[in-house]
Homo-oligomer: A and B are copies of this chain.
């Protein structure tokens, strides 16, 4: 890992934990193992680090949720749908990097337009788009009732997004959040899946 990358990594951790204004350039440098002024050999300044961080978060997010090939196989029945969805949720909830990106975005969402748009993409448009396709697939396969896939995606994802956000701020409730999501998922299937 290059120093440039180490800086991004340290900054992400610290920004996520203490916020942008709550993090000093010196703290970042400490984690990297260099002195603060050396950091300016790699980035123009603190704001520049934040921007680079958002760039890389966007790239990572698009790799993860943007491309078609990560939707995977359309589940063939209720059990498979629940299993694969819960797996996705648990992974997203626990992955340290993704978690830090969420925490960074949510704290700095009012700072500038880029972050604000990224937050909407992550919390709403991105996941909804992805699940709309999966739900559409299941409708076409005849295992989900005919309806607007986009609308069902909203119903499906919104409670999960809120619970993931909760587990970010109250990690001790992670288990409870997952259970809550699973109950919701069961209910979703009860409501919209054919028997």
**Which residues of A line the B interface, CB within 8 A?**
16-19, 21-22, 103, 106-107, 109-111, 116-117, 119-120, 123-124, 148, 151, 154-155, 158-159, 161-162, 165-166, 168-170, 180, 183-184, 187, 191
Contact = CB atoms under 8 A, between A and B. Distances in A.
Given A19-B107, A110-B168, A161-B162, 20 more contacts: A17-B110, A18-B110, A19-B19, A21-B21, A103-B110, A106-B106, A106-B109, A107-B109, A107-B110, A109-B169, A116-B169, A116-B170, A120-B170, A123-B162, A123-B166, A124-B162, A124-B166, A148-B187, A154-B184, A158-B158
A151 B116 contact: no
A159 B159 CA distance: 7
A128 to B, nearest CB: 10
A85 B4 CA distance: 50
- Listed from nearest, the 10 A-B pairs whose CB atoms lie closest are A21-B21, A158-B158, A158-B159, A116-B169, A109-B169, A21-B22, A154-B159, A158-B162, A151-B187, A107-B107
